[in-house]
Chain A
Amino acid sequence: GAVVSQHPSWVICKSGTSVKIECRSLDFQATTMFWYRQFPKQSLMLMATSNEGSKATYEQGVEKDKFLINHASLTLSTLTVTSAHPEDSSFYICSAGIFSRQETQYFGPGTRLLVL
């Protein structure tokens, strides 16, 4: 149990286009999900907290207009990278926790984004 999926697993897009990444909790409901960004050989950097039915909470320095987050249901959060540029190329990971035990987070497999 406690499986989190992400789609797509990797995507290549042209500069200026928008890309949507989905994060789904497959066998549990998640009122909160988290989005991370990771550069090679580095740690995970928290971008934002996605809250079901309300606005996301962004970490300092993260552009909310560039990284749009929508948490429309208890099993789905989406991250849209708008007007993508090459510097947005990175590995994006989401995580979610079971409501009563959110201290233990389950991670999606990640999405590799390459912006040309």
Chain B
Amino acid sequence: AQTVTQSQPEMSVQEAETVTLSCTYDTSESDYYLFWYKQPPSRQMILVIRQEAYKQQNATENRFSVNFQKAAKSFSLKISDSQLGDAAMYFCVLTFYNQGGKLIFGQGTELSVKP
């Protein structure tokens, strides 16, 4: 079975500090992609970062970076210098090269940012 697990339903971080959201996944496929999507209170889904499984280098997008551990099937998201606008639900997502865009979602982690 192909699954994505986010074990932290809620997280909290102080503004300007760093927070790490955890994600583990399970698949027997070798070609896949991992994403973090953000859903703010507006409920618009926003792509935060993507990682191709064949790439060993961890993806980085400004203040957002991932720690991709393929053998451990772990894909955590680090948010540095947290801002109030980072408050949102974050979803870890798995998909595959030949699945036409069909996504497998984690349960989500609700991040609050304290001023």
Interface residues of A, Cβ cutoff 8 Å to B: 32, 34, 38, 41-44, 46, 49, 91, 93, 95-97, 102-107, 109-110
Known: A41-B110, A42-B108, A43-B107. A103 touches B101 (CB 8 A): yes
The 10 closest A-B pairs by CB, nearest first: A107-B45, A102-B101, A97-B101, A43-B105, A103-B33, A109-B44, A43-B108, A110-B43, A32-B100, A103-B95
Task: Give the docked Cα–Cα distance between A19 and B37 (Å).
Answer: 28
Known: A42-B108, A43-B107, A103-B95. A32 touches B101 (CB 8 A): yes
**How many residues of B are counted as interface, with CB atoms below 8 angstroms from the partner's CB atoms?**
24
Mark each residue of chain B from 88 to 109: 1 if its CB lies under 8 Å from any CB of chain A, else 0.
0101000111011111011110
> Which secondary structure dominates chain A's binding surface?
strand
B50, B97, B103 pick with most chain A CB within 10 angstroms: B103
